[in-house]
């Protein structure tokens, strides 16, 4: 197995990053890298790993999709009664990770997760495909079910219930905004001399530091 992993090793040589090319605002820098990831045809460029912690302090992570950058924060949507929703309710400190291997880049973000206003979640839910709207009602996310057929039956029942009518947003489903307090931008470089720049928010301003790889 070790030999198989060793064969995957490669050097990083896509590009460089310097302080004078970084935006003073990490949100704007994130938007720039997202646009470049989209332009590069990166698969799922808005996918980000979200890490939360349960009451025991054990961390959990999963991939969610960034849906907006709103009021200085990063937005995703989910079931509030899911594992991540329950963990955020107990501990709103979360971490995000974007990774774009085609560009040899990643962004680490730490911040506080808060529920979006209901009217914002309503607008987004109304824009979703009808099948996804029905799925939000049919699936009690993260709960144990007897089998997959049980989910299909629920989906069919919800489909019949809302036939010929708009599907409203369930109260247990909506958005979170992550208000960031720390960013780290990472650019792969040859010889593993990667470039790392950390933004921290102090005294109502963002400070940028260079980190050793």
Q: Is 189 a catalytic residue?
A: no
For residue 163, pLDDT beyond 60: yes
Residues in the chain: 213
Share of the chain above pLDDT 90, in %: 81
Tell me which residue of 173, 103, 105, 110 sits closest to 138, measured CA to CA: 173
What is this structure's pTM?
A: 0.90
Q: Sorting pLDDT into bands at 50, 70 and 90, what band is 16?
A: confident
Q: Which of 62, 130, 143, 192 is catalytic?
A: 192
Alpha-carbon span 167 to 133, nearest angstrom: 6
CB atoms within 10 A of CB 149: 9
How remote is the C-alpha of 201 from its chain's centroid?
20
Domains and CATH numbers, the chain: 12-124+171-211 (2.30.110.10)
Flag whether pLDDT at 14 surpasses 70.
Answer: no
pLDDT category at 10 given cuts 50, 70, 90 is low
Q: Tens digits of per-residue pLDDT, 85-114?
A: 999 999 999 999 999 999 999 999 999 999
Q: What is the pLDDT of residue 18?
A: 77
At residue 116, does pLDDT exceed 70? yes
- The tens digit of pLDDT for each residue in 20-67 reads 889 999 999 999 999 999 999 999 999 999 999 988 899 999 999 999
Rounded alpha-carbon distances, angstroms, from residue 205 to 112, 181, 199: 17, 10, 10
Mean predicted confidence (pLDDT) in 177-199: 93
d(CA 201, CA 116): 22
Cα 155 to Cα 57, 65, 93, 174, 189, distances in angstroms: 34, 23, 33, 19, 48
Please state the rounded mean pLDDT for residues 178-201: 93
Q: Are 42 and 103 in contact (CB under 8 A)?
A: yes
User: For residue 177, what pLDDT band results from cuts at 50, 70 and 90?
Assistant: very high
Residue 135 has pLDDT above 90, yes or no: yes
Closest CA to 120 of 71, 52, 47: 71
**Nearest alpha carbon to residue 60 among 39, 45, 82, 79:** 82
């Amino acid at each position: 197995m070790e030999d198989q992993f060793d064969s995957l090793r490669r050097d990083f040589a896509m590009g460089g990053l310097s302080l004078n090319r970084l935006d003073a605002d990490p949100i704007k820098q994130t938007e720039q890298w997202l646009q470049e990831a989209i332009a590069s045809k990166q698969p799922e460029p808005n996918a980000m790993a979200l890490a939360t912690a349960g009451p025991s302090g054990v961390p959990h992570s999963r991939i969610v999709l960034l849906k907006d950058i709103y009021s200085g924060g990063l937005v995703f949507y989910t079931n509030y009664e899911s594992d991540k929703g329950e963990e955020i309710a107990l501990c709103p400190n979360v971490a995000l990770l974007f990774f774009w291997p085609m560009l040899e880049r990643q962004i680490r973000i730490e911040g506080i997760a808060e529920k979006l206003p209901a009217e914002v979640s309503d607008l987004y839910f109304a824009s979703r495909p009808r099948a996804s709207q029905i799925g939000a009602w049919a699936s009690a996310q993260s709960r144990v079910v007897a089998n997959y057929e049980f989910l299909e039956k629920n989906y069919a029942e919800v489909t019949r219930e809302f036939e010929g009518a708009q599907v409203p947003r369930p109260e247990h489903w909506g958005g979170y905004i992550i208000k960031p307090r720390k960013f780290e931008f990472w650019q792969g470089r040859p010889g593993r001399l990667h470039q790392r720049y950390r933004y921290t928010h102090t005294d109502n301003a963002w400070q940028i530091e260079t980190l050793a790889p």
